[in-house]
Amino acid sequence: MTGGFRWLARLTAVLALCVVMLGAYVRLSDAGLGCPDWPGCYGRLVVPEHPGEVAPAYSGRALEPHKAWKEMGHRYFAGTLGLFILALAVIAWRHRRRPGQPVVLPLLLVGLVVFQALLGMWTVTLQLKPVVVMAHLLGGMATLAGLWWLVLRSIRWRPDAPAEALAWRGFALLGLLLVIAQIALGGWTSANYAALACPDFPVCQGSWWPPMDFREAFVLWRGTGINYEFGVLDNPARTAIHVTHRLGALTVAIYVGLLAFFLLRWGNAARVRRAAAVVALLLVVQLGLGISNVVFRLPLPVAVAHNGGAALLLLALLTTFFLTRNPRRLAAQGGDDHAD
């Protein structure tokens, strides 16, 4: 693995985190349809500044330049991220015979970015269909996780992890899967505008179990031609989504919290204990941000930070899972003279 590949992977991972948070900002500031078309905006390559510049085909939707610029800014950053990932794949392919050079993952990331672009298009053309919005969020998180895995592989780890670390690998994987499921629930909550369905905490609408419609809450496909901006569900369905997200948060808090505690208390490898400490810290911060979203009625900076916290918690658990692999294999990573 070349030094250039290492640094490009790290830079691209940082850019991917920025794109994920920028996407959350666009979604949470209700700018997801700031441009009613794709990849342009109101039929133009750049955002029109006046209604007279709007292409006739889109004259029926009022121009809001501040929202349109948010949407196009996200597209510009996402396009740049795609070019960086393509560069990683090209470098990986050119050095595919070098020991330790990952090739398959960079190529898969190119395919994932292409699919992400399609999801971005469908987000607009299908008018914020919740299942597409949620899939777009998960695709962004998967891209970020894949890039972070490349970063982890690029590090020259010292051979100080005892073999007993392998015993925690299954537990770390389960924690990782629970966080992914919770991120999906969070995306579904946001896409259905259910974040404020429960305006109080810890109860919801003054009750521990308010009226809820679970049957309508989790219908993934409702056909086409529906504008989902600001949501289409009744309050009981939105409440069901919100309460499910809370129950998911409680499950993650208990399991991941215990996992971090056990790793800190009985973990054999110092680097695994450090990763567990980061997981514990991010978990506490993420819970605090989630509660603040309810108590303070979804302030935009807190809501965006909540999305960023989910991404960082995902990366911290991915790191924990990575560090519980075979210690000899771990120590062989990142060098030009060792195969992975």
Q: Count other C-beta atoms under 10 Å from residue 97's C-beta.
A: 7
* 268 SS3 class: coil
Residues 6+ apart with CB under 8 A from 243: 198, 204, 209, 210, 212
Nearest C-alpha neighbor of 339 from the set 14, 25, 8, 103:
103
- 50: region left, alpha or beta (phi > 0 left; psi from -120 to 50 alpha): beta
Measure the CA–CA gap between 113 and 105, rounded to whole angstroms.
Answer: 12
Both structure tokens of 120: 């971005």
* Residue 233 amino acid letter: L
Q: Report the C-alpha gap between 266 and 124 in whole angstroms.
A: 49
Active centre residues (catalytic): 71
Packing angle between helix 3-28 and helix 65-94, nearest 10 degrees? 160
Q: Which two tokens stand for residue 157?
A: 């780890």
Contact 139, 119 (CB under 8 A): yes
Helix spans in 126-269 (H):
130-154, 169-191, 214-217, 235-266
- Calpha distance 323→172 (Å, rounded): 10
Q: Is there a contact between 314 and 297 (Cβ–Cβ < 8 Å)?
A: no
